[in-house]
Amino acid sequence: MLSTRANLGAWSVLSELGEPEITRADLVARVLARARSNGRATERTAANHVDVFLRMYDATSATDWASWEDGLGSPFQDLDFLRTTRRGGLPVASAPFCSARPIDARSTAFIIADYWHRNVRGGTTLSLRAMLLEARAPGTILRLDEIGLHALLRDMCDAAPVGTLREDGLGGINLVMQGADDAKVLEDWAWNR
């Protein structure tokens, strides 16, 4: 929800980022540009926002014993979305696309239902390609490659009461719902744990 709806600086920028790496300075600049287009902001505010974001998601801080205590309390680090390193003396956030994420079928269902509500409206088919490549799409937000997204969708379809994966006849795969209200059924199923 932070990545798709809140329009919060670093969350929004990362959810639209097609590259696997970005320097901290570039991330601050993109957050600042976005903030200035929506109102006013200072570079210091943008830099602080980016630093909080990086500490919240940085999987390396969860394993770095020197800062282990700082990393406590952030379950987002377990998702292993991003790691910070230094290249040429510059801090770099690496958010590579990968084949696996520790996300269960119900969480996947919620993410897909949210994307469906925002992008399909009344339709019954959504392509894997769109979910993989579009800004603020599940694959982009979760930093998944095609294999990883397909695996999450397959697990979700096997467990959920609606939705099937079908080949489109052109080498692609679609998530197909039987009715336009099935995205709501999927969302309700996701919430009923």
Structural domains of the chain sorted by starting position, each given as residue range(s) with its CATH number in brackets? 9-94 (no CATH), 105-191 (1.10.10)
Average pLDDT, the chain: 82
pTM for the whole structure? 0.76
Q: Which of 32, 72, 41 is nearest to 56 (CA)?
A: 72
**Distance of alpha carbon 56 from alpha carbon 187, whole angstroms:** 26
Q: Which residues of 2-35 are buried (b: 16+ CB within 10 A; e: fewer)?
A: bbbeeeebbbbbbbebeeeebebebbbbbbbebb
Read off the pLDDT of residues 147-189 as tens digits, 9 standing for 90 and up: 999 999 999 999 999 999 999 888 889 999 887 688 889 999 9
Summarize the confidence of residues 33-43 as an average pLDDT: 80
pLDDT of 4 strictly over 70: no
* 62 within 8 A of 78, measured Cβ to Cβ: yes
Cα dihedral 17, 144, 12, 73 sign: negative
> With 80 as the cut, is the pLDDT of residue 15 above it?
no
